[in-house]
Structure 1
Amino acid sequence: MHRDSDKAVEICRKAGQLALDYFRNRDDLEIETKGPQDWVTEADRNVELLIRDELAKAWPDDGIVGEEHAAAVGQSGYRWVIDPIDGTANFVSGIPVWCVVLAGVAEGRTQLGVIHDPIHDETFVATRGGGATVNGKQMHVAKDVPIDAGTISIGFSNRAEARNTVPVIDDLLTAGAKFHRNASGAITLAYVAAGRLLGYMEEHMNAWDCLAGQLLIYEAGGRIEDQDADGMIDRGGRVIAGAPQVFAQLQDIASARWTAPD
């Protein structure tokens, strides 16, 4: 089931400009706390509304699932999954590490993924079977870099427990890897796809944070765990992804510490 990736990119870039305007005037933002280390702002809500409006114009029969608003049921069998601002904690703190995320899902698989970073003007795009690009240039995961010569990123949120994550960090450091976290899981997954990081691990992610990035990594020659996208939309799940030469090692570390994926 095909959707025009150029149109999806256009929508994300338009949303990114709105988010950037809010970021530059963030001292005036209304900020609400959803939970520990979990915030939402008027920027999140309004950027998502813009994306929803643009998607409805382009593909009126498609469903929409977003982080900040109720799901819209579609008739086509195709669903869009939105994170208007991934990295809200960074956003409200003035840290320039956040992005707009859009994934298209059909037949239980992510078919299209866009991650747009307005700060650095980088747009990461993948289509199933069509490869992955950053600003139109083909990208690939890191090749021939062992775990003790690269960096693995670990995500953490209030959906997981620190006592489960700390041993994983210890295992990675023991294996010789460097440890990285930037509080935006989506942009980190994009960096794995671009070969900037070797891999990514998180005990639990929501679909809007990970589906686009997982497709980017897969289409850039990396490996991801085989998960049903519809199940991820419903429940979320663990995310292990990386370059082929480190993926099995990351899975082994995760399997010793975390529950298996659905």
Structure 2
Amino acid sequence: MVSSHSAFDSGELTELAVTAAREAGQILLRGAEEGPVRASAKSSRTDLVTVFDRRSEDHIVGLLTAHRPDDGVLGEEGGERPGTSGVRWVIDPLDGTANYVARYPAFVVSVAAELDGVGVVGVVHDPSRQETFSAERGRGARLNGRALHVPHAADGLAEVLLSTGFSSDLAVRARQAALAARIACRVRDVRSSGSAALDLCWVAGGRLGAYYESDTRHWDRAAGALIASEAGAWVGDLDGGPASDRMVIACTPGVEQGLRTLLGHA
């Protein structure tokens, strides 16, 4: 058991995160097979939660704390529990709840580990496709064990397939929709999966050339942003700093300046 900074082992954390995310993914799949999933509203009628969000998070937290009782935990549904080891787990037990409720296969489990506030491990599991994206800081990113390398964009933004997301806050969503409409004519095409973590991983895998979204939360992007970065993507915000609640951008190298400028002036 790792309980001190000197004994920190990112490989052990990755293995634990992969196990937790895959087991939670099975909980979600079994839940979907049981029949229609009922959802209740949190902050708005479009901000949904199901019993399976909570079952997934409970399982992940239980597994992590059984192995590492001194770690902190930040979960979307359960809030924050402080720790003493310097490691904090950041969990989104079901990113893409609206998709899950609709049986639209674009939802994932996201588990990240931070050491003294810096992301060191990220795991995103897509149970519908049985794809597990993972990364360790400084050691690259992988998909089901295969190394990921983001290709460079040879022809600029005009050739980029871009994805974005929309807030559960309807006023914010209206502004996001207006921005997406202006962006759409400057790129190859626009998509929206409904899962920030999935979009970040698809940038890492070369399936998307860029992704941006405003009004995300830390658990939405903690694992996916590390995976994209370790695969070689540019990841940050409008000002070139770290990704934030205000804006997260991930893209193939070479288009970040143009995309940031476009988003800042669109």
TM-score (norm 2): 0.88
Partner amino acid for 2:117? G
Instruction: After TM superposition, give the deviation of residue 227 of structure 1 in Å.
Output: 5.2
Preserved CA contact (<8 Å) 1:109 1:228: no
Does 2:257 correspond to 1:248? yes
State the distance in 2 between where 1:162 and 1:90 align.
17
The 2-side partners of 1:126 and 1:185 are apart by 17
Q: Name the CA distance, whole Å, in 2 between partners of 1:227 and 1:41.
A: 34
Q: Alignment identity in percent?
A: 35
SS at match of 1:113: strand
For structure 1, which runs of at least 5 residues remain unmatched after alignment?
258-262
Matched, 1:16 2:25: yes
Deviation at 1:163, TM superposition (A): 4.3
Alpha-carbon separation, structure 2, partners of 1:192 and 1:7: 24
Q: Distance in 1 between matches of 2:182 and 2:149?
A: 26
Secondary structure (helix, strand or coil) at the match of 2:261 reads: helix
Cα deviation for residue 57 of structure 1 reads 1.1
TM-score (norm 1): 0.90
Query: What is the deviation of 1:251?
Result: 1.1
Equivalent position to 1:129, from 132, 138, 142: 138
- Equivalent positions of 1:188-227 (< 5 A) are 188-225=199-236
**Residue deviations 1:201-239, cap 9 Å, x none?**
11121011111111111100111116568xx5xxx3311
Q: CA deviation at 1:67?
A: 0.7
Q: CA deviation at 1:99?
A: 0.5
Q: How far is the alpha carbon of 1:61 from its aligned partner?
A: 0.6
Residue 147 (structure 1) shift: 2.0
Shift of residue 116, structure 1, vs aligned partner: 0.1
Helix, strand or coil for the counterpart of 1:8? helix
| Partner Cα separation in structure 2 for residue 205 and residue 70 of structure 1 | 16
Q: State the Cα RMSD in Å.
A: 1.8
Letter in 1 for 2:9: H
1:105 aligns with 2:87: no
1:85 & 1:26 partners in 2: Cα distance?
Answer: 17
- The one-character-per-residue Cα deviations of 1:105-147 (angstroms, maximum 9, x if unpaired) are 1233211100000110000001100100000000122323432
Aligned to 2:26, the other structure's residue is in SS state helix
Q: In the aligned structure 2, how far is the partner of 1:186 from the partner of 1:67?
A: 13
Could you tell me which of 223, 237, 247 is aligned with 1:238?
247
What is the Cα deviation at residue 247 of structure 1? 1.3
- The answer to whether the Cα contact below 8 Å between 2:96 and 2:108 also exists between their aligned partners in 1 is yes
Aligned to 2:167: 157
Aligned partners of 1:51, 1:221: CA distance in 2, in Å?
28
Cα distance change, pair 177–103 in 1 and its aligned pair in 2 (3 A): same
Matched, 1:142 2:142: no
**Amino acid aligned to 2:40:** E
1:32-73 Cα deviation digits (max 9, x unpaired) = 111131110110001100000000012111000111113111
SS across alignment from 2:111? strand
Q: Measured at CA, do residues 218 and 243 of structure 1 come closer, stay the same or move farther in structure 2, by a change above 3 Å? A: same
* 4+ runs deviating over 3 angstroms: 226-229
Distance 2:223 2:53 in 1: 18
Q: Would the aligned equivalents of 1:98 and 1:184 in 2 still touch at CA under 8 Å?
A: yes
Tell me, yes or no, if structure 1 residue 2 matches structure 2 residue 2.
no
* Aligned pairs, number: 251
Give the distance between the partners of 1:208 and 1:56, measured in 2 at CA: 18
Per-residue deviation, residues 149-183 of structure 1 (Å, max 9, x unmatched): 22110111134623432343234223233101011
